[in-house]
Amino acid sequence: MKKILFVFTSAAFFAACGGGDKKESAENKTEPAKTETAAPDKSQDPDYQKGLAIVAEPKNLCLTCHKIDEKLVGPAYRDVANKYELNDENVNKLAEKVVKGGSGVWGEVAMPANTVISPEDAKAAVRYVLMLRNK
């Protein structure tokens, strides 16, 4: 009986003493530095935020035909971003298609002209879309 009592007492003692150290060390532990360079958080970029706001604006109708990661009526934004590099030439070309409409690049369904969006807003929206590129 003394042996059983000793075992339970010892187990309780070790459990009481050992449990706090684990929790404390986990709380004080900092993550080790990553050796891989993580992609920068684009969501804090002002161009990203402005373009997102324009795309999300219901009057602009962008989300009627497009989604970020899946094809709807038009191509997924990420597919567009992966096809076109973010540079001034592509921004201007794609913004013109947003405003005037276009067809033939992504299939038979034409993109209608979008007369409610200004050319500058179209450029901001295109910059946002192209920032969704996977690398």
Contact between residue 79 and residue 71 where contact means Cβ atoms under 8 Å apart:
yes
What pLDDT digit, counting tens, does each position of 70-98 carry?
999 999 999 999 999 999 999 999 999 99
Domain boundaries, the chain: 43-130
65/103 Cα distance (integer angstroms)? 14
| Predicted structure pTM score | 0.69
Contact between residue 95 and residue 119 where contact means Cβ atoms under 8 Å apart:
yes
SS3 at position 111:
strand
Architecture of domain 43-130: Orthogonal Bundle (1.10)
What pLDDT digit, counting tens, does each position of 120-134 carry?
999 999 999 999 998
What pLDDT digit, counting tens, does each position of 40-60 carry?
678 888 999 999 999 999 999
67/75 Cα distance (integer angstroms)? 8
